[in-house]
């Protein structure tokens, strides 16, 4: 049976693999200083409408988050994030391991608002406490929800008023920007954040994230942070090749759009079977609430998915994730099996 556990189970899109194969015997200089990384960075600057942005490539999302956050903050400064945020839940304390506290605030939809940011700020009012300095958000969020342009603009305004950095985790940025109802563009994201990254690992790349630094204060010495934290890949050209291939003609967004379309088909089928979804996700992560015996039967049939949390004694919230490579047949098969379980 098909696994809906995550969106990085497959190796990479065939075009990415072909591009890597074609460069197999080509010699390049190391550490991201090669022509492939330079061409990919210039392409990203062009797509973002940000000619002065600095672009760096990292292997994974946790690595990218750690590099940006640690690079931005002084030793006593902290991060504001939703309680469901990746840096708070799924990174084994990577941020705290650098000495920076994550100030987590509960939010029903995974999104931060100016009011929630100010709630954290008001609770940290003296030198006896950490000083919140950076607002961390993700688009899509860990719950599959997305930010509107108005919401991101409001956060930008709030950060400016309080002297905070705004950093957007874009591990699933492709799905966010191609989701129904989205009104953000890459240039919008670049204009409204101090730093963000374009996720490749979860959208067709073998591995890789492209960090985009917009605020000039974050740019100096960033490569020193990359090297010190073990993130400077000797064969950095492998990252440049992949991002150039994904972004050169819209393939990146086509792949994300496919993941969303497969999720939409699965979402409607699950709702038709009477299973509710408390979180209204328009992207590739779905969180249906099903009876516990349905969870057991799906596992017995061999489907892969995550158990998110128990809802009550008889029901569990589970997570299905579709990907750039999810075939329609896998979605249809799951929907055919649901009535049987």
Question: In terms of residue numbers, what domain contains 314?
Answer: 251-340
Q: How far apart are CA 340 and CA 88, in angstroms?
A: 38
Q: How far apart are CA 215 and CA 213, in angstroms?
A: 6
pLDDT for the residue 227: 97
A 10 A CB-CB count for 192 gives 21
Q: What is the CATH number of the domain that holds 187?
A: 3.40.640.10
Q: How confident is the model at residue 148 (pLDDT cuts 50, 70, 90)?
A: very high
Residues 259-292 as b/e (b if ≥16 CB within 10 A, e otherwise) read bbbbbbbbbebbeeeebeeebebbbbbbbbbbee
pLDDT tens digits, 97-114? 999 999 999 999 999 999
E strand map for the chain: 54-58, 77-82, 102-105, 131-138, 165-169, 195-199, 209-213, 285-286, 289-291, 306-310, 315-321
Q: Mean per-residue pLDDT for 46-69? A: 98
With respect to residue 1, please indicate whether it lies within any of the assigned structural domains. no
pLDDT tens digits, 229-263? 999 999 999 999 999 999 999 999 999 999 999 99
User: Which residue in this structure is represented by tokens 């997570």?
Assistant: 319
* Whether residues 237 and 287 fall in one domain: no
pLDDT for the residue 100: 97
* Whether residues 265 and 171 fall in one domain: no
Q: Cβ distance 308 to 287 under 8 Å?
A: yes
Q: How far apart are CA 284 and CA 287, in angstroms?
A: 10
Q: How confident is the model at residue 91 (pLDDT cuts 50, 70, 90)?
A: very high
How far, CA to CA in Å, does 160 sit from each of 17, 133, 188, 219? Answer: 42, 11, 16, 19
With respect to residue 7, please indicate whether it lies within any of the assigned structural domains. no
* Whether residues 238 and 114 fall in one domain: yes
pLDDT for the residue 160: 98
pLDDT for the residue 75: 97
pLDDT tens digits, 275-284? 999 999 999 9
Residue at a domain's end among 247, 280, 310: 247
pLDDT tens digits, 192-209? 999 999 999 999 999 999
* Whether residues 58 and 175 fall in one domain: yes
With respect to residue 302, please indicate whether it lies within any of the assigned structural domains. yes
Residue at a domain's end among 197, 218, 247: 247
Whether pLDDT at 340 is above 90: no
* Whether residues 201 and 293 fall in one domain: no
A 10 A CB-CB count for 200 gives 31
Residue at a domain's end among 223, 247, 271: 247
The total number of structural domains in the chain stands at 2
* Whether residues 238 and 302 fall in one domain: no
* Whether residues 193 and 292 fall in one domain: no
* Whether residues 224 and 256 fall in one domain: no
Q: How far apart are CA 335 and CA 341, in angstroms?
A: 11
With respect to residue 8, please indicate whether it lies within any of the assigned structural domains. no
DSSP-assigned letters across all residues of 211-272: EEE-SGGG-TTHHHHHHHTT---TTTHHHHHHHHHHHSSSHHHHHHHHHHHHHHHHHHHHHH
With respect to residue 305, please indicate whether it lies within any of the assigned structural domains. yes
pLDDT for the residue 1: 82
pLDDT tens digits, 155-195? 999 999 999 999 999 999 999 999 999 999 999 999 999 99
Q: What is the CATH number of the domain that holds 265?
A: 3.90.1150.10
With respect to residue 9, please indicate whether it lies within any of the assigned structural domains. no
Q: Cβ distance 180 to 209 under 8 Å?
A: no
With respect to residue 66, please indicate whether it lies within any of the assigned structural domains. yes
pLDDT tens digits, 288-305? 999 999 999 999 999 999
* Whether residues 85 and 231 fall in one domain: yes
With respect to residue 322, please indicate whether it lies within any of the assigned structural domains. yes
A 10 A CB-CB count for 129 gives 13
Whether pLDDT at 130 is above 90: yes
* Whether residues 67 and 115 fall in one domain: yes
* Whether residues 260 and 239 fall in one domain: no
* Whether residues 268 and 301 fall in one domain: yes
């Amino acid at each position: 049976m098909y696994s809906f556990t995550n969106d990085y189970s497959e190796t990479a899109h065939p075009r990415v693999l072909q591009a890597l194969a074609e460069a197999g015997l080509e010699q390049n200089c190391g550490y991201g200083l090669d022509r492939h990384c330079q061409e990919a960075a210039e392409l990203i600057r062009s797509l973002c409408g940000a000619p002065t942005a600095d672009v760096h490539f990292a292997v994974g999302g946790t690595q990218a988050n750690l590099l940006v956050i640690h690079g931005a903050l002084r030793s006593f400064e902290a991060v504001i994030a939703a309680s469901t945020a990746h840096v708070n839940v799924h990174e084994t304390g990577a941020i705290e391991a650098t000495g920076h506290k994550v100030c987590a605030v509960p939010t029903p939809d995974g999104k931060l608002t100016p009011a929630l940011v100010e709630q954290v700020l008001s609770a940290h009012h003296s030198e006896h406490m950490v000083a919140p300095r950076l607002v961390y958000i993700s688009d899509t969020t860990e719950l599959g929800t997305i930010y509107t342009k108005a919401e991101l603009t409001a956060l930008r305004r709030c950060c400016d008023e309080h002297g905070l950095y705004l950093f957007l985790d874009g591990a699933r940025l492709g799905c966010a920007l191609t989701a129904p109802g989205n009104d953000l563009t890459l240039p919008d994201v670049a204009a409204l954040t101090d730093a963000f990254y374009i996720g490749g690992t979860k959208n067709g790349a073998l591995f890789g994230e492209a960090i985009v630094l917009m605020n000039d204060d974050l740019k100096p010495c960033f490569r020193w942070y990359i090297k010190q934290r073990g993130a400077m890949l000797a064969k950095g050209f492998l990252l440049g090749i992949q991002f150039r291939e994904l972004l050169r003609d819209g393939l990146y967004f086509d792949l994300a759009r496919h993941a969303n379309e497969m999720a939409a088909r699965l979402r409607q089928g699950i709702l038709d079977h009477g299973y509710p979804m408390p979180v209204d996700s328009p992207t590739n992560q779905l969180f249906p609430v099903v009876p516990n015996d349905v969870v057991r039967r799906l596992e017995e049939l061999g489907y892969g998915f995550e158990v998110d949390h128990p809802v009550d004694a008889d029901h569990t919230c589970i997570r299905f994730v579709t990907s750039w490579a999810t075939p329609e047949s896998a979605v249809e098969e799951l929907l055919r099996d649901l009535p049987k379980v």
